[in-house]
Amino acid sequence: MEMPAPNPAILARRGEVLDQLASVLPRAALITDTTELRAYECDALTAYRCLPMAVVLPGSTEEVAAVMRICHGAGVPVGPRGSGTSLAGGALPSEDAVLLGVARMREVLEVDLADRIIRVQTGITNLAVTGAVEEDGFFYAPDPSSQLACAIAGNIAMNSGGAHCLKYGVTTNNLLGVTLVQMDGTVVEMGGAHLDAAGYDLLGLVCGSEGQLGVVTEATLRILPKPEGARPVMIAFDSAEVAGACVADIIKAGVLPVAIEFMDRPCIRACEDFAKAGYPDCEALLIVEVEGAEAEIDAQLGLIGQIARRHDPVELRESRSEDESKRIWLGRKSAFGAMGNINDYMCLDGTIPVSSLPFVLRRIGEMSTEFGLDVANVFHAGDGNMHPLILFDANTPGELEKCEAFGAEILKLCVEAGGCLTGEHGVGIEKRDLMSVQFTPEDLEAQMRVKDVFDPGWLLNPAKVFPLEASAPRRAA
Amino acid sequence: MRPVTEDDLAEAVRMARGPLVVRGGGTRAIGRPVTGELLETGGLAGITLYEPGALTLVAGAGTPLAEIEAALAAEGQRLPFEPIDMRALLGTDGVPTVGGMVAANASGPRRVQAGACRDSLIGVRFVDGSGTVIRNGGRVMKNVTGYDLVKLMAGSWGTLGVLSECAFKLLPVPEAEASLRSAAMDPSAAVAVMARALGTPYEVSAAARDSDGRVLLRLEGFGDQVARRSAALQAALGGDWDVLDAETSAGAWRGVRDVTAFADAPGDVWRLSVRPSAAPEMVARIDAPVVLDWGGGLIWARVEAGRDLRADLGQFQGHATRIRGEPVAALPVFQPEPAPVVALAAGLRAKFDPRGVLNPGLMG
């Protein structure tokens, strides 16, 4: 992945810009020392690293606005950062840019159970939002697997999803309002504790814009009453095709599970070796979870079982207790850890129409042989969001490049099948140059026009999302 | 003009020499009236893809909503957001279309549980003001590839582009439905009881106070589940409740959805989206007939013709739209917004419709 060469004119002004920043921030909120900057050189896409010009950690919307005004005035790019858990390089710094982290802004500003909302500063972690309302019987629905660490700021920037979004939607469906600081320091309020926009849905535009339209400092989120209970059933098949057909039948029958997770043989094996969850030796495994009171869960799992049996499963294990539920989920939840245990891996995130599942899995298998790299597939089957994990050895020269090329082919396949490049991780730098596979130049132009409106100078997180070539004239202007 | 292909639509916009009045079925006649050449989307009709097993449907923007609903019903599915039919309220006739529904971001009572139209909309194709075809989103329900122009198009009333195709995610129609109905309650008591109901784990799919002041709470699910939840909800809330069977419940909610109480009654109609707990105070300031939906978050008010309701409401969190009433220059239809938002909206309009030909002035 190529990044633009840093602008020497900006680098030459570093001292001057740092002095200005120091005048509006507390001492501890401005990091310029090389050793300390190291901690911010990458996000979870660790293959790419770069030291920023400086890191600022403002403590309020006002401080964010002050920083933005300074950078805007000096023509210095700004890269926003939540907790730095992006798998797509969304928070990768540039040498000629200031990295703006919201990590010091983690207050819960308001909880209103009657209106079912919570207002937070966006540095708060995803899980801490649920933590703030859990005792009252509520939760925040989007649940990316990094939820212990990831910040709401990053969730909003990437429109994060999770395993339970089949029923509850992704971030954009649970976000009611934001305080956004534009590149020139203008503070804009969008939405609030009420529903829907008065005019254009700017909130919907900001969510998922990968920190390119503004820095979101505060957010109003929808909270939901916790379900009475939840239990999964594990269903094993000797063919991925049959597992796919079973998923479609479950959905067609009118059951709306809260999650349908799918694992293929390589993934099942790795998880089993790692977590000893008691998964059977089979080609495809489904974990289907439903919610409700005990009797309701029994009824739904009964119906799912009936449907599944028509597809002749190798094994069907309905959880009867919390302990059993935990065991069923254990393997799935440790999938990434299990992979990390055997090898370096790259996690992809394309989405496909559920009906293309068998075809796509077969093609990935063929490509795996062609590239000589193993792939394990784990994915959210209800919504078609795949996470192929390509295994490679980072210490073997050329293997990372081969892995990236393979990954690109898989994502192109997703688009070809009627899907998209990324279902929940975002484009960042990782999929930036593949955007032209999914979009025409006109489609991309329409999106870039939005950035022109919010950030005419293209100073916010500039070399991300759009193919470098496509955004070059704007970034140079 | 009534193009029948997307290419023709693009050509029509490209060739426009003056303002275009973009229209689907013409049933949602809201906003400042626009004069110009009529551009109808009714020719871009037909379901292009429906995969029940993937809960997705794609259709031309001019497809009649009734055709979509019939196709979905045949598979036991539906559009989750329960779009309002405005014909009775506005006295319009014609056929509601998919594109019109999206352009208005039309949602109904289930919005509190299943989200708005914009939440179920997963892809669009549209022609911008220069006549360029643009695609955004797609046909899969989880997609964060690039900026979300899908949301921007929903509720933009044809001022940023003319929709040619829309894709939706769907939900199964639950096996059973029932509603609880109370005796008349004052707005404070009604909003409080609706908040409590929506805070239970029984997945109340709609909560309203009808024009007679009665609170309605809807439960949907499998047969046994609805019966059990109905009992549990009554126990949790206390008080006396009538249980409405599926058919009566469906009729009652159609009435709330379409605000039929105000259909044949005189006066202007306003639609307010507010913080639910603020609703009782708002209703007091409105001091006119109201219907509350979304647990109090949506207020429909019928007031005397020409009244400047916003002036009487003062500052509040949310927005008020003048849905019905003779045009009055001093009464913007859409809520005036703060300066930075106005600047962004104007900027977007200048980018997407640089010549100002798409429904100019409709949104103010």
Whether the CB of A61 is below 8 Å from some CB of chain B: the reply is no
Q: Distance between CA A113 and CA A191 in Å, rounded?
A: 18
pLDDT tens track for B92-137: 999 999 999 999 999 999 999 999 999 999 999 999 999 999 999 9
Which tokens in the block code for residue A319?
A: 């959880």
pLDDT tens track for B33-69: 999 999 999 999 999 999 998 999 999 999 999 999 9
Q: Distance between CA A429 and CA A467 in Å, rounded?
A: 9
Residue-level pLDDT, tens digit, chain A, 477 residues: 788 999 999 999 999 999 999 999 999 999 999 999 999 999 999 889 999 999 999 999 999 999 999 999 999 999 999 999 999 999 999 999 999 999 999 999 999 999 999 999 999 999 999 999 999 999 999 999 889 999 999 999 999 998 888 899 999 999 999 999 999 999 999 999 999 999 999 999 999 999 999 999 999 999 999 999 999 999 999 998 899 889 989 988 888 899 999 999 988 988 888 888 889 999 999 999 999 999 999 999 999 999 999 999 999 999 999 999 998 988 888 877 787 777 888 999 999 998 888 889 889 999 999 999 999 998 888 889 999 999 999 899 999 999 999 999 999 999 999 999 999 999 999 999 999 999 999 999 999 999 999 999 999 999 999 999 999 999 987
Could you count the other beta carbons within 10 Å of the beta carbon of residue B43? 16
DSSP letters of A62-125?
HHHHHHHHHHHHHT--EEEESSS--SSSTT---TTSEEEE-TT---EEEEETTTTEEEEETTSB
Which tokens in the block code for residue A449?
A: 């026009």
Note the pLDDT of residue A382. Answer: 86
- In this complex, the residue of A169, A199, A351 whose CB is nearest that of residue B119 is A169
Beta-sheet strand order (sheet of B206-209): B242-244, B176-184, B214-221, B206-209, B290-293, B298-303, B268-274, B318-324
Biggest distance spanned by C-alpha atoms of chain A:
71
Specify the 3-state DSSP secondary structure of B97.
Answer: strand
A418: chain B residues, CB-CB within 8 Å: 138-140
Interface of B with A in 276-295 (CB under 8 A): 276-277, 294
- In this complex, the residue of A158, A247, A384 whose CB is nearest that of residue B142 is A384
Whether the CB of B310 is below 8 Å from some CB of chain A: the reply is no
Going from N- to C-terminal start, the domains of chain B cover 6-172, 174-333
Tell me the β-bridge partners of A191: A177
Note the pLDDT of residue B338. Answer: 95
DSSP A29: G
Note the pLDDT of residue B166. Answer: 98
Interface of A with B in 326-365 (CB under 8 A): 351-355
DSSP letters of A345-388?
EEE---B--GGGHHHHHHHHHHHHHHHT--EEEEEETTTTEEEE
- In this complex, the residue of A190, A256, A420 whose CB is nearest that of residue B143 is A420
Note the pLDDT of residue B350. Answer: 98
DSSP letters of B212-240?
TSEEEEEEEESHHHHHHHHHHHHHHH-S-
DSSP letters of A298-318?
HHHHHHHHHHHHTT--SEEEE
Q: In one letter, which amino acid is A341? A: N
Contacts of B362 (CB under 8 A, 6+ apart): B31, B32, B34, B157, B158, B159
CATH architecture of B6-172: 2-Layer Sandwich (3.30)
Q: Distance between CA B177 and CA B252 in Å, rounded?
A: 12
Contacts of B337 (CB under 8 A, 6+ apart): A198, A199, B345
Q: Can you state the percent helix, strand and coil of chain A, rounding each to 5?
A: 40, 20, 40
Domains of chain A: 8-103 (3.30.43.10), 108-225 (3.30.465.10), 230-335 (3.30.70.3450), 343-416 (3.30.70.2740)
Residue-level pLDDT, tens digit, chain B, 364 residues: 999 999 999 999 999 999 999 999 999 999 999 999 999 999 999 999 999 989 999 999 999 999 999 999 999 999 999 999 999 999 999 999 999 999 999 999 999 999 999 999 999 999 999 999 999 999 999 999 999 999 999 999 999 999 999 999 999 999 999 999 999 999 999 999 999 999 999 999 999 999 999 999 999 998 889 999 999 999 999 999 999 999 999 999 999 999 999 999 999 999 999 999 999 999 999 999 999 999 999 999 999 999 999 999 999 999 999 999 999 989 999 999 999 999 999 999 999 999 999 999 999 8
Cα–Cα separations (whole angstroms), residue A93 to A79, A81, A83, B144: 6, 9, 13, 21
Q: Distance between CA B108 and CA B353 in Å, rounded?
A: 30
Q: In one letter, which amino acid is B164? A: S
Interface of A with B in 455-474 (CB under 8 A): 465
What distance lies between CA A2 and its chain's CA centroid?
22
Note the pLDDT of residue B158. Answer: 97
Whether the CB of A14 is below 8 Å from some CB of chain B: the reply is no
CB contact under 8 A, A296 and B140: no
Note the pLDDT of residue A336. Answer: 76
DSSP B246: H
Residue % of chain B over a pLDDT of 90: 97
Question: Chain A to chain B, count of Cβ pairs less than 8 Å apart?
Answer: 258
Q: Distance between CA A141 and CA A164 in Å, rounded?
A: 7
